[in-house]
A and B are shown apart, each in its own frame.
Chain A
Amino acid sequence: MLKTFRIGGIHPKENKFSAGKTIQPIALPKQVMIPLSQHIGAPCQPIVKKGDKVKVGTRLGKSVGFVSANIHSSVSGTVNKIDKVLDASGYKRDAVIIDVEGDEWENAIDRSETVKKEFNFSSREIIEKIAEAGIVGMGGATFPTHVKLTPPPGTKAEVLIINAVECEPYLTSDHELMMEKTEEIFVGVQLLMKAINVPRAVIGIENNKKDAISKFTNVATSYANITIQPLKVQYPQGGEKQLIDAVIRRQVPSGALPISVGAVVQNVGTAFAVYEAVQKNKPLVQRVVTVTGKDVKNPCNILARVGTPLSQLIEFAGGLPETTGKIVSGGPMMGKAIAGIEVPVTKGTSGILIIPTLEAKRKAMKDCIRCGKCVNVCPMGLNPTLLMNLTEYEVWDRAEKNAITDCIECGSCSYTCPADRPLLDYIRLGKGKVMAIVRARKN
């Protein structure tokens, strides 16, 4: 019996159409738009101006504040302007727009493909290099990695858990990366272990990636302190707290950080980015993006530079199908529908999912029939239908008592609701309000 997390969870159809497709680089765009905020936290301060010549890896934005990450140029060329551009949500945010000329890289960056294994770094050096490279959580949450690797005083990490679960249906970018860059990922994991000074690491992989499990198990034989943990396929296993429960059977208390049970979780894509940053001095300027969907001609995994318009990636995958009803950035469960396709790839773009019209439309909300399915599937053990009602009627004190802030926004409740109620939509709103109230009370 394979391990999985113990509370709730669902198993949507996997639909991994792009599995096994090798990662293909995409032609350089004519112009890139690099947003100054691609992470959770404060946006960057731009340090280039119009007319500046930049190379790949030139720093464009300096992180300000504790939770923030640097931004680097993903192309070489001239800065056209710093202006507001539409992001995936339809709001306009500051971005550096660069006209691409050639493909020249900063001299410090090692572009060779050979696997380098140099471990002669101190913990602080590794974290500094990660911060310099602007690495953020590659699973989609985009939390700055160097912050996560700096545990608050008084806490001690015991184990590093690598999230190679990729529990979202459709997406295969992590899977392909694992198959093609196995050695590099292991080096990255070693570096991460060194950074937080833990004696062991566990890589959790869902059982629908059997080839990755066997490949990783083979490689892991030469690393005594890294173990591979195959897991039962269950959504949202990629959630930090769910993965910790699945792998080491510890439950993170309500409102606490994973470090409180001695665990630090990092995504497998982040481990690869750490490898590149520390061994090759390469900042985070490109990532693997899955372009997929039922009617997409050529579902594929693309290595795209940050700032490339999504339209170009969709073109590469065979263009927008006629049946397009909705385009989602990310996976079908936690991804967000985007307002237009002329928006750039960011550090957190794990996939582009094109959903046909027939499946895209949400059904009209009906009355709650009190079946309790949402309560059953909630991986955090919450009562979604109650939280939705409390939000609708703005009963914030009760919403707080019922732990609305523990919601991880996985969407299992909305997925399972037979009355098509927009449970998560309301809970997310309520969560924001309650968090604001809690913050105000603290100050």
Chain B
Amino acid sequence: MSILLTAVVTLGVIGAASAAILYLIGQKFKVVEDPRIEQVQEALPAANCGGCGYPGCGGFAAALVKSDTMDGFYCPVGGQATMDKVAEILGRTAAVSAKKIAVVRCNGTCEHRPRVNYYDGASNCAIASSLYGGDTGCSFGCLGLGDCVESCTFDAIHINPETMLPEVVEDKCTACGACVKACPKDLIELRKQGPKSRRIYVSCMNKDKGGVARKSCDVACIGCSKCFQVCPFEAITMENNLAYIDDDKCRLCRKCVPVCPTNSIWELNFPPRKEVKEEAVKAEV
């Protein structure tokens, strides 16, 4: 009986002493983590895509909680809803920003842009563009080797086998910007998604002079400035023989689209035009 008692007492004392030591060590090396970080992280979409500029959602949450403002913090995947939720947790207000989407600013399909040579090196846009201008006369256009497809974690961009150009899947694109960084020709831009996904953009990045650009591609922007002149909202700027539509100023009036002689301005998801209206626009020009 006494053996049993001795054992229980000894073990009890050792246990109590160890517990005390562990408690003291635990107190000494305690890491105080703001509980809000976890809350914020839970509100985030957990895509860990890096689109916000931080290493994953955890990094974003930590940086956001540490900071005093919401300025410069935006989760492109979750969008406005997520940011509002996060702001509520932190007791701040989120700035309103429009949902964006990736657009590919090249329309040089095989049919519009004839090949002048063939590339048979490593199938990688970055490598190809460091070696040469491309297999058509346009050295600004899409190489079609799919670095953007590879960079996308949301399966939202694919090369169309017919046109050999990448196409963005609107429902899946989160505007994380991975493809923007991956494209060595800087063809992909994040633009406002627009009401009902309606948007207008110049689908060309060719900075050559008009004649040269036209020769290498049927649908190149030739820098004629017609769209610049017709735009009533000063949304279009001309630089290096190339038109650019500022999506903050553009009110989607569509006047620039029909005046483009090479059809390089694209309108997406608009209802079909009425015949009369189109003529009226032309008459106005």
Contact = CB atoms under 8 A, between A and B. Distances in A.
Interface stretch (B53-61, B96-104, B125-133, B274-282): B125-133
B127 A337 contact: no
A432 B130 CA distance: 9
Nearest to A365: B122
Contact of A361 (B120, B124, B212): B120
Contacts of B223: none
A90 B132 contact: yes
B133 A422 contact: no
A84 interface: yes
B208 A425 contact: no
Given A92-B208, A429-B126, A422 B121 contact: yes
Contacts of B116: 339-340
A89 B130 CA distance: 9
Contacts of B131: 89, 336, 425
A425 B124 CA distance: 9
A429 B208 CA distance: 26
B29 to A, nearest CB: 30
Interface string A312-345: 0000000000000000000000001101100000
B67 interface: no
Given A90-B117, A90-B139, A339-B117, A422 B132 contact: no
A354 to B, nearest CB: 14
A339 B120 contact: no
B134 interface: yes
Contacts of A336: 131-132
A300 B74 CA distance: 63
Interface in A64-99: 84, 86, 89-92
A74 to B, nearest CB: 25
Interface string B90-116: 000000000000000000000000001
B132 A89 contact: yes
A84 B117 CA distance: 20
A401 interface: no
A425 B117 contact: no
A362 interface: yes
A428 interface: yes
Given A89-B133, A90-B139, A92-B139, A84 B127 contact: no
A105 interface: no
Contact of B133 (A339, A362, A425, A432): A339
Interface in A381-434: 422, 425-426, 428-429, 432
Contacts of B127: 422, 425-426, 428-429
A337 B132 contact: yes
B42 to A, nearest CB: 30
B139 A91 contact: yes
Contacts of A86: 133
Contacts of A89: 131-133
A407 B192 CA distance: 43
A278 to B, nearest CB: 37
B144 to A, nearest CB: 15
Contacts of B139: 90-92
A426 B124 CA distance: 9
A429 B130 contact: yes
Contacts of B124: 425-426, 429
Interface in A83-138: 84, 86, 89-92
A439 B122 CA distance: 26
A426 B122 contact: yes
Contact of B122 (A84, A91, A425): A425
A422 B132 CA distance: 16
Interface string A261-304: 00000000000000000000000000000000000000000000
Contacts of A90: 117, 132-134, 139
B81 to A, nearest CB: 32
B187 to A, nearest CB: 16
B181 to A, nearest CB: 11
B147 to A, nearest CB: 11
B258 to A, nearest CB: 31
A428 B121 contact: no
A365 B127 CA distance: 15
Interface string B122-159: 10101100111111000100000000000000000000
A404 B1 CA distance: 74
A428 B124 CA distance: 13
Most chain A C-beta atoms within 10 Å of own C-beta, residue among B133, B134, B135, B208? B133
Given A89-B131, A91-B133, A422-B121, 8 more contacts: A90-B117, A92-B212, A337-B132, A422-B122, A425-B121, A425-B131, A429-B130, A432-B130
Interface of A: 84, 86, 89-92, 336-337, 339-340, 361-362, 365, 422, 425-426, 428-429, 432
19 contacts: A84-B208, A90-B133, A91-B132, A91-B133, A92-B208, A92-B212, A336-B132, A337-B132, A339-B116, A339-B133, A339-B135, A340-B116, A362-B121, A422-B127, A426-B122, A426-B127, A428-B127, A429-B126, A432-B130
Q: Which 9 A-B pairs have the closest CB atoms?
A: A90-B133, A422-B122, A425-B122, A90-B132, A91-B133, A89-B132, A362-B120, A425-B127, A91-B139
